[in-house]
Structure 1
Amino acid sequence: MIGRRRPRVPHAQDARVVLYTRPGCHLCEEAETIVAAVCAESGDPWTTVDISGSAELVEAFTDQVPVTFVDGRQHDFWRVDPARLREALEP
């Protein structure tokens, strides 16, 4: 992101995977299904954050949602690759 400061990304303490979404986003719905399935397999906690509640998150992520973070670091955006997510969650 050139010219824009990356926001401080809130990270749920108990969630390894945080999925940033917005209402009405079909890619977000697909990503949520994949994240839920992979995290159910691995037993890892996850959560979603609706970016529409934060002007800072909207500015940072509006063109990239869904955005996936694993362990507080950005992992993917637009689409979630299940195999890549599984790999990121391996101990």
Structure 2
Amino acid sequence: MQIVKLYTRKRCPLCEQAELVIEMIQEESLFQYEAIDIETSDDLTERFGLMIPVIEVDGEILQYGQVDYVTLSEKLSGENDK
């Protein structure tokens, strides 16, 4: 089963929107979801600070910034078909 990671931080409207998109897609596709607050790690803050929200699956960044439901849904559904 895939693990979808959402790199986020508090008080981030785009992050909240991305979380809602992931939750909607999770109703249709099978995957585990994990939210990671980048402010808990200097390394994560340096790596993703200007990009959040960031959605990563199997080490690959699928989307960042504005998360698009259709694009993300297609990518996650396509991965599940393999």
- Structure 2 counterpart of 1:67, from 27, 45, 54: 54
Structure 2 gap segments, 5+ residues each: none
TM-score w.r.t. length of structure 2: 0.86
Runs of 4+, deviation exceeding 2 Å: none
1:56 aligns with 2:56: no
Q: Which moved more, 1:20-29 or 1:33-42?
A: 33-42
Provide the alpha-carbon RMSD of the alignment.
1.3
**Contact preservation (8 Å) 1:23, 1:50:** yes
**Contact preservation (8 Å) 1:17, 1:68:** yes
Choose between structure 1 and 2: higher strand proportion: 2
| Secondary structure in structure 2 of the residue aligned to 1:23 | coil
Count of residues in correspondence between the two structures: 78
Choose between structure 1 and 2: higher helix proportion: 2
Identity across the alignment (%): 37
TM-score w.r.t. length of structure 1: 0.78
Match of 1:9 in 2: none
| Secondary structure in structure 1 of the residue aligned to 2:28 | helix
Structure 1 gap segments, 5+ residues each: 1-13
